[in-house]
């Protein structure tokens, strides 16, 4: 039955596990199939055409797993490939940008919103375009923070270097007197303590994973595709590579033990 199919979630790597964590807590009875393209990670430092090509392959993998909806749990991919994905695939596709933009608009009191993300997400102005479409009066300040991804993957959560780097990246946004900051990359919630400390405790952080999970719930409700089950949902994890230290980092991101992870051959993804 259509309602009992799993929700598909994909990401360039393991950052999307922070989104799976949010979806599983918002929709605990839904089955989830996750695909992380760890053989080609990261996407955030690559070109638009490459990101679109990879995203289509990732979505196709999930479609073949018979999913009822696809969550693009990668801000870079959401900011670049969403339109193309919606054109090619006939299931609801939920990205990170629209939900995050709406949530930020609900939070801001002074109409000054900051957005941080990968170089690709920021150079595409994905969040500022979306936010200004919803409310042209708001001012949006964007800043790429490329080093936050490797720092999170290294598991350096509160190291002195993280403070130095956050200080360098965020001082500009602090000067702009923003009152809301969108964490526009799924890796960033891992560093949220340091980010909060450096940007100031009066600034509200928006975790794009939380708003996206809410959006998935809303969408399934709207089209009547939520599961009827009352038992806890199953989660299946697929990745295109399993490097050294993978399990350790995946568990940091997911916030609990990861049991079965299956490796997919890259050839299987290609057209």
197/55 Cα distance (integer angstroms): 34
**Closest CB to a copy of itself among residues 1, 270:** 270
The minimum distance between CB 109 and a copy of itself, in angstroms, equals 32
Q: Where do contacts with a copy of itself occur on this chain (CB under 8 A)?
A: 38-41, 45-47, 50, 53, 119-120, 123, 146-147, 149-151, 153-154, 156, 159-161, 164-165, 168, 240-245, 266-267, 270
Taking the alpha carbons of 98, 103, 109, 115 in that order, is the dihedral positive or negative?
negative
208/99 Cα distance (integer angstroms): 7
Closest by Cα among 252, 101, 111, 258 to 189: 252
Residue 117 parent element (H or E): strand 112-117
The minimum distance between CB 114 and a copy of itself, in angstroms, equals 20
Residue 145 is among the residues annotated as catalytic for this protein: no
User: Hey, how many other C-beta atoms are within 10 angstroms of the C-beta on 193?
Assistant: 12
Catalytic residue from among 19, 33, 62, 74:
74
**Closest CB to a copy of itself among residues 135, 246:** 246
**Closest CB to a copy of itself among residues 14, 220:** 14
Number of helices and strands (H, E) in the chain? Answer: 11, 10
Q: What is the DSSP letter of 137?
A: T
**Closest CB to a copy of itself among residues 120, 210:** 120
Catalytic residue from among 185, 194, 225, 249:
185
The minimum distance between CB 96 and a copy of itself, in angstroms, equals 19
Catalytic residues: 74, 185
């Amino acid at each position: 039955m259509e309602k009992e199919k799993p929700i598909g979630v994909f990401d360039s790597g393991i950052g999307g596990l922070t989104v799976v964590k949010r979806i599983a807590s918002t929709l605990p009875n839904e089955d989830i199939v996750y695909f992380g393209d760890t053989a080609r990670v990261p996407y955030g430092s690559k070109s638009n055409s490459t990101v679109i090509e990879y995203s289509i392959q990732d979505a196709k993998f999930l479609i073949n797993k018979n999913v009822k909806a696809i969550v693009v749990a990668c801000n870079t991919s959401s900011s670049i490939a969403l339109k193309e994905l919606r054109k090619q695939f006939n299931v609801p596709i939920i990205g990170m940008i629209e939900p995050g933009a709406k949530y930020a608009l609900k939070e801001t009191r002074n109409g000054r919103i900051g957005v941080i993300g990968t170089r690709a997400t920021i150079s595409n102005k994905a969040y500022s375009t979306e936010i200004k479409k919803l409310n042209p009066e708001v001012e949006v300040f964007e800043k790429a923070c490329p080093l936050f991804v490797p720092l999170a993957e290294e598991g350096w959560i509160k190291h002195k270097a993280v403070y130095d780097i956050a200080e360098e990246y965020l001082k500009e946004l602090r000067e702009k007197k923003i009152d809301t900051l969108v964490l526009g990359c799924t890796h960033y919630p891992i560093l949220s303590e340091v980010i909060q400390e450096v940007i100031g405790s009066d600034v509200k952080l928006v975790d794009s994973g939380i708003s996206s999970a809410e959006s998935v719930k809303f969408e399934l409700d709207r089209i009547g595709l939520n599961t009827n089950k009352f038992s806890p949902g199953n989660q299946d994890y697929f990745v295109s590579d399993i490097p050294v230290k993978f399990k350790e980092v995946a568990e940091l991101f997911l916030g609990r033990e990861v049991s079965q992870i299956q490796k997919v051959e890259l050839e299987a993804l290609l057209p």
